[in-house]
């Protein structure tokens, strides 16, 4: 057994434990993505980075040693984790509306919520809270095009999204969202909703809506 100090809390853990185990025992939650106990410990996602002696190390891989001092949370660490989540979304095909992970099963989304990352669309919120899709019911909901972060207050109450948080800028997402709307929602209804809040983005929007439909 060795003694480890996590955020000032002293815990005793077996000598073959990792910093992640120690933090858990001390009652601090460190986010993980790629780590799977006993299956995968290559530390590739880097989301579990902690500060050890002024340098960042992934806690899922770092072995404990006697008297090791670890900081699991700080403004800087939060910033790096936020950047990492942003990088994940940069290559992620954000098609939350057709994803199978419903009701908070997506770790990435809950992390994005925790760290205030504004990359996903409102559909992710519906998935998170397990709300039935309004677009599938034929309603002109702007969820697939709007930046998430509103906790789905409208759709929770059965109202289609009006896009008050602004449109997502990724062209990829726009393309797949328009494909998703196809045949489900009337074009005129959709356009009039878009005009309501997003008039200044009409140039960009017409590129997708006119051409595709």
Q: Taking the complex as a whole, how short is the minimal distance between the CB of residue 109 and other proteins, in angstroms?
A: 17
Q: Is position 79 an interface residue for other proteins (rule: CB under 8 A)?
A: yes
Q: Based on CB atoms, which residue is closest to other proteins, 77 or 191? A: 77
Q: Based on CB atoms, which residue is closest to other proteins, 117 or 154? A: 117
Return all residues near 102 (Cβ < 8 A) that are at least 6 apart.
127, 130
Q: Taking the complex as a whole, how short is the minimal distance between the CB of residue 62 and other proteins, in angstroms?
A: 7
Maximum CA extent, the chain: 68
Q: Is position 58 an interface residue for other proteins (rule: CB under 8 A)?
A: yes
Q: What is the DSSP string of 104-161?
A: T--HHHHHHHHTT---SBHHHHHHHHTPPPTTTTT----GGGBBP-STTHHHHTTPPP
Q: Is position 83 an interface residue for other proteins (rule: CB under 8 A)?
A: yes
Residues in contact with other proteins, counted by CB under 8 A, come to a total of 20
Among 39, 90, 100, 211, binds other proteins (CB under 8 A): 90
**Angle, vertex CA 15, rays to CA 13 and CA 18, nearest 5:** 70
What x-and-dash track marks residues 59-78 binding other proteins by CB under 8 A?
A: --xxx---------------
Q: Based on CB atoms, which residue is closest to other proteins, 40 or 186? A: 40
CA–CA separation, 68 vs 205, rounded Å? 54
CA distances (Å), origin 175, targets 87, 195, 209? 20, 18, 9
Are 105 and 41 in contact by the 8 Å Cβ rule? The answer is: no
Among 16, 91, 157, 199, binds other proteins (CB under 8 A): 91
What x-and-dash track marks residues 9-48 binding other proteins by CB under 8 A?
A: ---------------------------------xxxxx--
* Residue 199, burial from CB neighbour count under 10 angstroms (0-12, 13-18, 19+): exposed
- Please give the residue ranges that form the binding site for other proteins (CB under 8 A): 42-46, 49, 56-58, 61-63, 79-80, 83-84, 87-88, 90-91
């Amino acid at each position: 057994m060795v003694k480890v100090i996590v955020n000032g809390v002293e815990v005793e853990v077996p000598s073959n434990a990792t910093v992640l185990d120690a933090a858990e025992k001390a009652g601090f939650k460190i986010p993980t993505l790629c780590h799977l106990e006993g299956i995968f410990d290559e530390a590739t996602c880097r989301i579990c980075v902690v500060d050890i002696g002024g340098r960042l190390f992934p806690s899922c891989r770092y072995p404990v040693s006697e008297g090791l001092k670890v900081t699991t949370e700080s403004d800087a660490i939060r910033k790096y984790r936020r950047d990492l989540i942003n990088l994940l979304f940069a290559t992620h095909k954000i098609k939350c509306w057709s994803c199978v992970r419903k009701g908070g099963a997506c770790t990435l989304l809950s992390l994005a919520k925790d760290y205030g990352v504004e990359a996903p669309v409102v559909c992710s919120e519906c998935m998170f809270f397990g709300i039935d899709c309004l677009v599938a019911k034929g309603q002109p909901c702007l969820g697939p095009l709007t930046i998430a972060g509103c906790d789905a207050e409208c759709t929770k109450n059965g109202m289609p999204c009006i896009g008050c948080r602004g449109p997502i800028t990724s062209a990829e997402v726009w393309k797949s969202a328009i494909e998703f709307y196809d045949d489900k929602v009337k074009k005129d209804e959709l356009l009039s909703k878009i005009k309501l809040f997003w008039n200044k983005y009409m140039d960009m929007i017409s590129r997708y809506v006119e051409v595709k439909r």
